[in-house]
């Protein structure tokens, strides 16, 4: 194994994604522009135009629905396929997302989290990706540009091991257009980490012809759904292994599906996903100095859902403040809903409260975390919730 010397580049989150696509030796990219995703596929096109990528089929399509259809076709021939999208574009793909996972194709997509319209918005909000919860796609939420790059590389490896597609999710503008140092991995080491794909089946094996997309009647459909669930369960194990291997090779450990930050002796923790957790970690350091015993629990993988890790965490704390930059109308924040549901039949019963924060790109700062900490401390002292779902930023 060659020695690992990282290549440091100052790039946006979107360029980090494009570099990862290049390093993963993706064979087919379906490209359709949508803000704030566009610079991912633009950068890939630039690599291609400059001769920096070889063996890539770049397919400009006429909609996001077609983009996913092109990826499905490409992936079914055995190729490594990628696309990127945001918000309404992802919603337009929704039908095809089911086809990708149902056909067990390990496509990787970057979704740049953006609020759903109306009102028209291009800012950060997780409701677009979380609305795809039940499509059978794995979902990884990146906190920073480094995690976008690492996430794409790991997503291909995990997806191709369990034969399910994976979405790597980054925040609109906060990551997609903000430049930061990213440590990239030399090509030969990426090649060792991510060897060529071994497809489950291929349309181009003419000696062993297959039919795909055939009818599955009531007598057969059910079993195939069960197999997807089994693959998701297997994915949990594979995520741990691949995340650990990534850490051993490249120094950044992703073996935990929930990254715990200063939680060992914490009375309560802030739980959330994506870039807002960077703010939370910074706030935790400050709050610790101010005497709060708090920690952060960053949910990296939302699907498969890290039930076991959540249970272990919940046993050790008195309260969990779930920060949702998303909302399921008629109910509550989506991560909160999942977390509460996962703990119901267990003996771990911390006070768990939902804070709706940062919708549509509203600023979420260290000071906001402090206010939430004050509120959490008060309800824990009292031993009961004030409200279950707190529209924290609401102008009252």
Partner 1 sequence: MNTLFGERKEGATKIVLKSVDEYPEAPITLGTTLVNFTGDWRTFIPVIDDDKCVKCYICWKFCPEPAIFIREDGYVGVDYDYCKGCGICANECPTNAITMEKEEK
Task: Catalog residues that contact partner 1 under the rule CB under 8 A.
Answer: 102-104, 163, 200-201, 208-212, 214, 216, 220, 223-224, 226-227, 231
Shortest distance, position 161 Cβ to partner 1, whole Å: 12
Residue (1 or 211) nearer to partner 1, CB: 211
Q: Is 56 exposed, middle or buried (0-12, 13-18, 19+ CB in 10 A)?
A: buried
Shortest distance, position 139 Cβ to partner 1, whole Å: 21
Residue (201 or 311) nearer to partner 1, CB: 201
Shortest distance, position 229 Cβ to partner 1, whole Å: 11
Q: How far is CA 235 from CA 132, 134, 191, 217, 232, in A?
A: 18, 16, 21, 27, 5
Distance CA 231, CA 242 (A): 15
Q: Give the CA angle between residues 253, 145, 62 to the nearest 5°.
A: 120
CB 176 within 8 A of CB 122: no
Residue (231 or 352) nearer to partner 1, CB: 231
Q: How far is CA 110 from CA 53, 153, 197, in A?
A: 19, 11, 19
Residue (4 or 224) nearer to partner 1, CB: 224
Residue (232 or 314) nearer to partner 1, CB: 232
Residue (226 or 329) nearer to partner 1, CB: 226
Shortest distance, position 200 Cβ to partner 1, whole Å: 6
Q: Is 229 exposed, middle or buried (0-12, 13-18, 19+ CB in 10 A)?
A: exposed
For residue 304, say if its preceding peptide bond is cis, omega within 30 degrees of 0. Answer: yes
Residue (231 or 356) nearer to partner 1, CB: 231
CB 165 within 8 A of CB 102: no
Shortest distance, position 76 Cβ to partner 1, whole Å: 9
Residue (50 or 208) nearer to partner 1, CB: 208
Nearest to 124 by CA among 360, 368, 393, 363: 360
Query: What is the 3 state secondary structure string of 229-256?
Result: HHHHHHHHHHHHHHHHHHHHHHCCCCCC
Residue (164 or 190) nearer to partner 1, CB: 164
Distance CA 272, CA 326 (A): 11
Shortest distance, position 239 Cβ to partner 1, whole Å: 19
Residue (215 or 394) nearer to partner 1, CB: 215
Distance CA 231, CA 123 (A): 33
* Cβ neighbours around 217 below 10 Å, total: 6
Shortest distance, position 137 Cβ to partner 1, whole Å: 15
Shortest distance, position 195 Cβ to partner 1, whole Å: 20
β-pairing verdict for 294-299 and 258-261: antiparallel
Shortest distance, position 202 Cβ to partner 1, whole Å: 10
Distance CA 212, CA 332 (A): 39
Place of tokens 């369960």: 233
Q: How far is CA 133 from CA 108, 140, 234, 240, 396, in A?
A: 15, 12, 18, 21, 32
* SS3 (DSSP) at 97: helix
């Amino acid at each position: 194994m060659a020695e690992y010397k990282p290549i440091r580049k100052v790039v946006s989150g979107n360029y980090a994604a494009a570099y990862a696509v290049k390093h993963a030796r993706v064979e087919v990219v379906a490209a359709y522009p949508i803000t704030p995703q566009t610079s991912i596929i633009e950068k890939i096109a630039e690599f291609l135009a400059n001769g920096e990528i070889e063996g890539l089929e770049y397919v400009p399509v006429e909609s996001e629905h077609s983009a996913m259809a092109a990826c499905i076709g490409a992936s079914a021939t055995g190729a490594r396929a990628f696309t990127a999208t945001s918000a309404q574009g992802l919603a337009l793909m929704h039908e095809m997302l089911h086809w990708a996972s149902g056909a067990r194709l390990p496509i990787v997509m970057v979704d740049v989290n953006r609020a759903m319209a109306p009102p028209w918005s291009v800012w950060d909000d997780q409701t677009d990706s979380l609305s795809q919860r039940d499509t059978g796609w794995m979902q990884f939420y990146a906190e920073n540009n480094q995690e976008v790059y690492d996430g794409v590389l790991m997503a291909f490896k995990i997806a191709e091991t369990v034969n399910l597609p994976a979405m790597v999710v980054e925040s609109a503008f906060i990551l997609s257009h903000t430049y930061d140092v990213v440590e990239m991995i030399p090509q030969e080491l990426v090649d060792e980490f991510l060897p060529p794909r071994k497809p489950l089946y291929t349309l181009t094996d003419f000696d062993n012809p297959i039919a795909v997309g055939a009818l599955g009647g009531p007598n057969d459909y059910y079993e195939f759904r069960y197999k997807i669930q089994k693959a998701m369960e297997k994915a949990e194990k594979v995520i741990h292994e691949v995340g650990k291997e990534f850490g051993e090779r490249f120094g950044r450990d992703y073996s935990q599906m929930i990254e715990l930050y200063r939680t060992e002796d914490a009375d309560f923790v802030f739980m959330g996903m994506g870039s807002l957790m960077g703010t939370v970690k910074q706030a935790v350091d400050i709050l610790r100095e101010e005497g709060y015993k708090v920690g952060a629990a960053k949910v990296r993988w939302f699907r498969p859902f890290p039930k076991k890790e959540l249970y272990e965490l919940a046993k050790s704390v008195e309260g969990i403040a779930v920060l949702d930059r998303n909302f399921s109308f008629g109910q509550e924040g989506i991560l909160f809903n999942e977390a509460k549901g996962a703990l119901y039949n267990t003996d771990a019963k911390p006070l768990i409260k939902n804070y709706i924060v940062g919708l549509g790109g509203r600023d979420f700062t260290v000071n906001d975390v402090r206010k939430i900490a004050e509120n959490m401390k008060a309800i824990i002292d009292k031993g009961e919730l004030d409200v279950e779902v707190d529209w924290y930023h609401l102008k009252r």
